[in-house]
Structure 1
Amino acid sequence: MAKTKLIDVAKRAGVSNSTVSQYLNGRFDYMSEKTKLRIQKAISELDYVPNPIARSLKMNKTKTIGVIVRDITGFYTSRTIRGIDDYCKNSEYNLLIYNTDVDPKVEAKSLDTLNQLRVDGIIIASSGQNTDLINRYSDNGLPIVHFQLEHDGQEKNIIISDYRKAAFEATEYLIQLGHKRICFVTQDFNQVKSRKDRFLGYADALQKHAIPMDQSLIKYWHRETGFEQSPIEYLHTENPPSVFFTQHLAITTELLSVLNAANIVIPDDVSLLGFDDIPMAEYFKVPITVITQNPYEIGRQATKLLLNNINSKTPASEKIMIPCSLIKRLSCKQV
C-alpha cells in the first residue's frame, strides 16, 4: 500500500498543499473552522503521518536534541536524563541519547553522528578529551551545553553543582564533630576543575579552622584499578584517619565493600562521608552521611539553557551553579 502524501490530504480536503502545510505547522490565523475540520478529517481518514525529516528541512529545525553521557546506568546520570526528558516533553522536543562509557573515541563519534543527524543542540557530560571538536561544532553554530564536570574552566555554557562550597560545608561539619585526620579520597584532579574545586573546598575548611594540610591524607582511586593504597593498610598506620571523605559514588561503594570485608565497623572504627547519595542508603544498617546533588534540576536547567540558545538570535554564554545539600545520617561520629 502506497504511503499517504501531503498532496493526498489536500485533494481529500479540497484545499491547496500550502493550506495543509500551514495546518500541520499550527498556523491557523487566516484559516476558517470549516477548513480546519476538513483537513483534520482527511488526515484521520487517510491515516496520514507527516514526514518529520521533510518538515525539518523546511523549518531548519529537527525539534530534536542530543544527550551524550558517560555512564547511562549511573544514579546521577539517570536522574539528569529524567530532568532533561521532562523539560523536553513540555517543550515538544525529542531526545537522542548516547552512552560513551567515558571513552573519548566513542564520545567523538557520538558528537559527529548527532551533528550529521542535524540535532538542534547537544547536552554533554564530556570526557574533557574532545575540547577542540566540541569548540569547532559550537563555533559553527551548534548550541552545546555541558553538565556534570567542568574540565578546563573554558566551557562556554555549563550547568554544574557548587562543588567547592559543598566540600567546604562537609569538611567543616566533620571538623565540628572533632575530626582533624580527614582522609580525602579522590580521583586525580589536576586536569579536572570540578574535582579540584572539591579539593579546594576541603582545603578552605582546614585553613579556616587552622588545621594543617597533610598530604598523606590525600588518597587516590582510579576507575580501572581502584585504590592506590589499601584503605585497610592506611587504617593500621601509626596516625590513621578518623574519617574518610570520598569524592565519588563509585569510590564510596568500593570503600564500603573493602571495609565490610575487613570487618571494619562504621562509625565505631572509622567514620565515612561520601559525595553523591547512595540509592536506598537510608535502609543500610548504618545509613551513610552524604553530600547530595540535584541532578534532576541540573537536567532541567541544562535543557532550558540549551533551548534558549537554540531559539535566540544572539545566544550568550552562561555558567549556572546548582547548590548541593548535606544529608546527616549515622556514619559520622563525634570524636
Structure 2
Amino acid sequence: MSQKQQDNKKQITINDVAKEAGVSKTTVSRYLGKQYDSLAEDTRKKIEEAIKILDYKPNRMASGLKGGRSYLIGMVVADITNPFTVSILHAAEILCRSKGYSLMVCNTNNDPKVEREYIFMLQSHRIDGLIINTTGKNNQFLLDMAKQRTSVVLVDRKIPELGFDTIGIDNMTPTMEAVQFLLKQDYERIAFFSEPVDGISTRHERLTAFQSVLKAHDHPSQNDIYEVSLNKADDLKKQLECFLNDTRNAKRAIFSANGVVSLNLIKESKARGLKIPEDLSIIGFDDLDWSEIITPPLTTIAQPTEDIGRTAIERVFERIEGDTSPPKEILLSARLKLRGSTH
C-alpha cells in the first residue's frame, strides 16, 4: 500500500516523496528545481512516479521564497473602473498566469496616499515585479522598492527621472492627426476637455499636441482648454456650458482626452438636447466598447490596450530573469477612427 493510501488526509510533503521514491530530500529538491543534469535517469523516473502516486503539489510560494522569488507580480492602477485599465489588466493577468505567477491588483483612485499604502503592502508580500500606473507623487518609495530588487515597470504615465522601463503609446502623433482633421473640416472653435493635466504625462502630451497644431495655424482655439474634475458634481456640466455660451453660432468641436470624459460629454450634450454632430462635434481618446454602438458612433483614437498590458508583463519578466540593459521606453501606435460624431 502506498503512502497516499495509508494517509490520504495528511498534506503530502517533499519528505513523503523522498520516502516513496527511496531517495533523499535533497535529491527530490534538485528534481523540483529542474536540476536534471545532476540526477541519474533512473532516479528521475522514481521521483516522477512517486509524485504521481502521491499526487504531490509543490508549494511554489515556499520554494520560491527559498530561491528568492515569491511568484507574485503587483499591479497598481489609478482607476480600475476605467475600461482602458480593465483591458490592460485583463491582458496582463492572462500572461501572468501562463507563466505561473499570480497578479495582485491594487486600485488607488488617483490618490497618492492610497498608492503609498499599497506600495508598502506589496513590499511586505515580497513581490518579484511591479507594474504601476502612478500618480507621480511617490517616486522615492518606488526607487526604494527597486533597490530591494523588485522589477518596476511604469505603464501609460511616464516619469523619466526614475529610470524605469515605461510602456505606453505615442500620444503626440494621433492627437495632432485628430486636430488637423478638425481643422480641415473648418471648425471655428475647438475645445480640449480633460481631467486635471498637471503631473500626468499622457494628458500633458495630448494637450501639447493639441495646442501645437492650433498655434501652427494661428487658430483662435489655442486657449480653449477645460480641465474637469469628474468627482465634483456638475463640474463638467458647468465647463461645457461655458464653452457653449462662448461659441454661439460657431461651428464647434470638442477634443476629449480620454474615454471617461468623452462618455460624460456625450451624456451631458444629449441631456441639453444638443444634436451630435450638427450642434457639437466630439472626437475622443480611447476606442471603448460603446464608442461604435452609440448614435452617432464616436470618432476616436484607438489605443492598443491589451498590447500595453502584455508588453508591460513581458518587460517585468525580462527584468526578473536578469536583463540589466538600460531602461526602455516602449511606445505603441494608436490610430484615429473616423465615425459619425464629427462631420
TM, length-normalised to structure 2: 0.90
- How far 1:112 sits from its partner (Å)? 1.2
Whether 2:188 is the aligned partner of 1:176: answer no
Q: Give the SS at the match of 1:222.
A: coil
Q: 1:280 aligns with which of 290, 310, 324?
A: 290
Q: After superposition, what is the alpha-carbon deviation per residue over 1:238-280, rounded to whole angstroms, capped at 9, x for unaligned?
A: 5556101111212111111111111100011111101112323
Is 1:144 the counterpart of 2:144? The answer is: no
Partner of 1:257: 267
For the pair 1:36 / 2:48, whether they are aligned, the reply is no
> More deviation in 122-131 or 98-107?
98-107
Give the aligned residue type for 1:132: Q
SS in 1 for 2:158: coil
CA contact under 8 A between 2:189 and 2:220: conserved in structure 1? no
Contact 2:211 2:222 in 1 (8 A): no
Q: Could you tell me which amino acid in structure 2 is paired with residue 251 of structure 1?
A: V
- Bigger shift: 36-45 or 179-188? 36-45
Moved more, 76-85 or 221-230: 221-230
Q: Which residue identity lines up with residue 284 of structure 2 in the other structure?
A: G
The CA distance in 1 between the partners of 2:136 and 2:251, in whole Å, is 32
C-alpha separation in 2, matches of 1:196 and 1:222: 16
Could you tell me the TM-score, scaled by structure 1's length? 0.92
| Corresponding position of 1:290 | 300
- Give yes or no for contact 1:151–1:191 (8 Å, CA) kept in 2: no
Question: Does the 8 A contact of 1:220 with 1:228 survive in 2?
Answer: no
Q: Is the 8 A contact 1:222 1:228 kept in 2?
A: no
The residue that corresponds to 2:6 in the other structure is none
Please, which of 241, 246, 253 is the counterpart of residue 237 of structure 1?
246
Instruction: Give the aligned partner of residue 222 of structure 1.
Output: 229
Is there any run of 5+ residues in structure 2 with no aligned partner, and where? 1-8
Query: In the alignment, which residue of structure 2 is the partner of 1:311?
Result: 321
How is 1:1-335 mapped onto 2 (pairs within 5 angstroms)?
Answer: 1-150=9-158, 154=162, 156-215=164-223, 217-225=224-232, 226-227=235-236, 229-237=238-246, 239=248, 240=250, 242-312=252-322, 314-333=324-343
The separation in 2 between residues aligned to 1:155 and 1:185, in whole angstroms, is: 31
Identify the range of structure 1 (313-322 vs 147-156) with the bigger mean alpha-carbon deviation. 147-156
Counterparts of 1:310 and 1:80 in 2: how far apart (Å)? 20
Aligned mates of 1:42, 1:70 — CA distance in 2:
47
CA–CA separation in structure 2 for the residues paired with 1:251 and 1:241: 21
CA distance in 1, matches of 2:150, 2:246: 54
| Equivalent position SS for 1:290 | strand
Q: CA deviation at 1:30?
A: 4.0
SS at match of 1:236: helix
- Structure 1: where are the runs of 5+ without partners? none
Instruction: Name the CA distance, whole Å, in 2 between partners of 1:136 and 1:241.
Output: 52
SS at match of 2:289: coil
Output the amino acid matched with 1:295: T
Secondary structure of the residue aligned to 2:191 is: strand
| 8 Å contact kept, 2:72–2:128 | yes
Offset of 1:28 from its aligned partner?
Answer: 1.8
What is the aligned length? 332
Instruction: State the secondary structure of the residue aligned to 2:262.
Output: helix
SS of 2:254's partner is strand
Paired AA for residue 112 in structure 2: P
Q: Distance in 2 between matches of 1:295 and 1:37?
A: 45
Q: Report deviation, 1:166.
A: 2.0
User: Which region of structure 1 is more displaced relative to structure 2, 187-196 or 316-325?
Assistant: 187-196
Shift of 1:33: 4.1
Q: Which deviations, in whole Å up to 9, do the C-alpha atoms of 1:130-161 show, x marking residues without a partner? A: 11211221233221101122257645221111
Say if 1:63 and 1:94, in contact at 8 Å, map to a contact too.
Answer: yes
Cα 1:158–1:272 shift into 2, 3 Å: same
